[in-house]
Structure 1
Amino acid sequence: MMDYKLFDLGDVKLQSGMTIPDAKLAYKTYGELNAAKDNVIVYPTWYSGQHYENEWLIGAGKALDPDKYFIIVPNMLNNGLSSSPSNTPAPYDAARFPRVTAYDNVQLQWRLVTEAFGIEKIALVTGWSMGALQTYHWGAMYPDMVERILPFQGSAKCSRHNFVFLEGVKAALQADAAFLDGWYEKQPVKGLRAAARVYAGWGLSQKFYRDHMDLDALGYASLEDFLVSFWEGWLLAKDANNLLGMLWTWQNGDISHNPLFGGDLVKALSAIKAKAIVMPSSTDLYFPVADNEFEVKHMPNAELRVVETSWGHFAGGPGTSPDDIEVLDQALKELLAS
């Protein structure tokens, strides 16, 4: 049973110069929009994630409380619910699905928010990982609309090191002979499993593995059990072309790469008027603290708040580390109360 809605976007022209015909944006809302339309939170999805995988941060008594706020979770293009290689008809299907930027995604999310709901002010935008990338875009692209942002375990621009890590994931997936340059009839299972093994060395910290947290905190029987069940199980549920589409979006993430800022990252960061708490993980191998330190330095109303954790990138989701979730939830409550 479908628990989300589709917003019809029509034919969408992208930054790439290509068009997605009859594009759809999948979304789910939680709570009720108040009469003043000022209780709005936008909470974008992350790499491979769909709206239900954001729900661990939503609930009564939490910062993202649907009894108080109207929470919109838009699904990224390429994630299998919004327009994606896996659900778009020829000629733009599979390997021919156009390249999509975070700028494209947020423009379309803005259309959803304004056209479907008539919203003019957003109390908060927040997101993990690629959701954080979209959060930065919201702040820079719509500075008079967005009052607060809290990007966690993510950055405003994909670093060169991050780009290289993702090249490893991409190469592992595409090396499977069954991939057939994206025109596979069945999912390239060997490639998905190999990509998951690459990811496993980056998603969690050295200390996580050194302390056997896969066994003691998560309860797996062995390291191999963890690699197969947690990591391979995650990617085997996904479509390879969808993953590669989102990976391209991630690698080309940059809040300044658009007509508004012309590639000037400092100008883009300086345009963010929203009150911001930026929350990196102390052990994140994708998005090190130093990247966020640079960003906060150039944001006019931002605070850097490092999460001290052994959970690496997964300190922020999807609901894996209870202690880190509590730290994040308290920061969100503080920001919303400010």
Structure 2
Amino acid sequence: MTDYEIFELGDVVLQSKKTLRGAKLAYKTYGALNAKKDNAIVYPTWYSGQHYENEWLIGEGMALDPRKYFVIVPNMFGNGLSTSPSNAPEPYNQARFPNVTAYDNVRQQYRLVTEKFGIESLELVTGWSMGALQTYHWGALYPDMVKRILPFAGSAKCSRHNFVFLEGVKAALTADAAFQDGWYRSPPTKGLRAMARVYAGWGFSQAFYREELDIKAMGYASLEDFLVGFWEGIFLPRDANNLLTMLWTWQNGDISNNEVFNGDFPKALAAIKSKAFIMPSKTDLYFPPEDNAFEVAHMPNAELRVIDSIWGHFAGGPGTSPADVKTLDAALRELLAS
């Protein structure tokens, strides 16, 4: 049984000038859309994540309370549920899967929201990491539709340093001989494990490791137990080509790289009229607050709120620091009440 639904998109021409034929957008909703259709929230997925891995911020008594709001979680292209290398028919399967941008994702999510549900106004768009990238796109592309945005631990444009970090992740994964240039018949597990090790040095901060929070807060028996149990545990179940597709989407994230803004990044930021809380983690190693400070300076209705945490990129993220999740939930609640 599946706990999600499929929105049939038909043939989708991407920014790469390739066509996803019979494209599918997987999504799950929480709560009920009211009669006025004015209680909807869009909450996109993150790198490698699927809708159920967004659920740590959804629940009764939380800001994203399904008793009050209609929360739509659309799955990104490439995450294994929406059209992806692992489920696309030939000729665009596996290593032939075309490059997909965040712009491509959000344009199709907009179709889901408007065509499937008839929604004309969104109370909020929010998301973590790559979900934040999509959140910025929603704000820039549909400024009259989106009332509020709260992107956290993410940015509106992939920085050069962030790009380099991801090159290391990609190199580790594709160096496995079993990868076979993307035409593997069994998972390239050595590459997936190597990728996890590279990622482990970036996802949490130096202070997180110095304070041994992997052991003291997360309950692992040792550092090696953490590297295997947490990091390898994240990536081994994922499809390698799917991971590479989303990695390309991440590396090429830029809200201005489209026909609307023609590469003018400040102009794209200025187009975001939504009331915005921008929430980076103080110790995020690849989405530093400095990048968000630049963004906020060019956004007309935005406030920078840095999460003071040593949990790095995972401050407020899934299954990690309860205190940071509480901080994030409180900010979502405040924004929705404003």
Q: What's the TM-score bracket when you normalise by the shorter of the two chains?
A: over 0.9
Runs of 4+ in 1 over 4 A off after TM superposition: none
Cα contact 2:99–2:248 (8 A) shared by 1: yes
| 1:13 matched residue in structure 2 | 13
CA positional deviation for 1:316: 2.7
| 2:60 matched residue in structure 1 | 60
Paired residue type of 1:160 = R
Unaligned runs of 5+ in 2: none
CA positional deviation for 1:145: 0.3
| 1:87 matched residue in structure 2 | 87
Provide, for residues 160-210 of structure 1, a one-character-per-residue CA deviation record: whole Å limited to 9, x for no partner: 000000000000000000000000000100000000000000000000000
Structure-2 separation of matches of 1:316 and 1:127: 11
Structure-1 separation of matches of 2:36 and 2:218: 44
Paired residue type of 2:72 = I
Cα contact 1:130–1:250 (8 A) shared by 2: yes
| 1:254 matched residue in structure 2 | 254
| 1:219 matched residue in structure 2 | 219
Paired residue type of 1:330 = A
| 1:78 matched residue in structure 2 | 78
| 1:47 matched residue in structure 2 | 47
Question: Superposed, which structure 2 residues align to 1:100-179 within 5 Å?
Answer: 100-179=100-179
Structure-1 separation of matches of 2:151 and 2:173: 29
CA positional deviation for 1:4: 0.2
Correspondence 1:210 to 2:218: no
> What percentage of residue pairs aligned between the two structures are identical?
76
Cα contact 2:33–2:39 (8 A) shared by 1: yes
Paired residue type of 1:88 = A
Structure-2 separation of matches of 1:317 and 1:280: 11
Cα contact 1:285–1:313 (8 A) shared by 2: yes
Corresponding residue SS for 2:48: coil
Structure-1 separation of matches of 2:192 and 2:33: 40
Corresponding residue SS for 1:316: coil
Structure-2 separation of matches of 1:296 and 1:88: 38
Provide, for residues 37-95 of structure 1, a one-character-per-residue CA deviation record: whole Å limited to 9, x for no partner: 00000000000000000001000000000000000000000000000000011111000
Question: Superposed, which structure 2 residues align to 1:172-211 within 5 Å?
Answer: 172-211=172-211
Unaligned runs of 5+ in 1: none
Question: Superposed, which structure 2 residues align to 1:25-36 within 5 Å?
Answer: 25-36=25-36
Corresponding residue SS for 1:21: strand
Paired residue type of 2:11 = D
Cα contact 1:319–1:325 (8 A) shared by 2: no
CA positional deviation for 1:320: 1.2
Count of residues in Structure 1 that have an aligned counterpart in Structure 2: 338
Provide, for residues 206-253 of structure 1, a one-character-per-residue CA deviation record: whole Å limited to 9, x for no partner: 000000111100111110010011001110010000000000000000
Paired residue type of 1:100 = V
CA positional deviation for 1:98: 0.7
Structure-1 separation of matches of 2:21 and 2:97: 10
Normalising by structure 1, report the TM-score: 1.00
Structure-2 separation of matches of 1:88 and 1:268: 32
Structure-2 separation of matches of 1:16 and 1:319: 35
Paired residue type of 2:131 = G
Question: Superposed, which structure 2 residues align to 1:298-317 within 5 Å?
Answer: 298-317=298-317
Provide, for residues 86-121 of structure 1, a one-character-per-residue CA deviation record: whole Å limited to 9, x for no partner: 001111100001100000000000000000000000
Normalising by structure 2, report the TM-score: 1.00
Paired residue type of 1:84 = S
Structure-2 separation of matches of 1:319 and 1:20: 34
Cα contact 2:196–2:231 (8 A) shared by 1: yes
CA positional deviation for 1:133: 0.1
Structure-1 separation of matches of 2:319 and 2:42: 18
Cα contact 2:125–2:150 (8 A) shared by 1: yes
